[in-house]
Amino acid sequence: MQGIIRGYRDTIMKLGILFPVAIFIIAVVFLGWFFVGGYAAPGGA
């Protein structure tokens, strides 16, 4: 039982690191996509 709880905590710790990183990467990709697509340019849409 102890090992399961410890493994669960390790998973949460990894998620705590990976989740913000994944969100940051997705945000950067979306921003880059908007700029490359010209959507962010004035009158581009």
pTM: 0.57
Length of the chain: 45
Tens-digit pLDDT profile for residues 1-45: 677 888 889 999 999 999 999 999 999 999 998 888 877 667 655
CA–CA dist 40, 33 (Å, integer) = 9
Side-chain half-sphere CA neighbours of 16 within 13 A:
6
pLDDT at 4: 83
CA–CA dist 39, 43 (Å, integer) = 8
Q: Which residue is associated with the tokens 């390790």?
A: 10
pLDDT at 28: 97
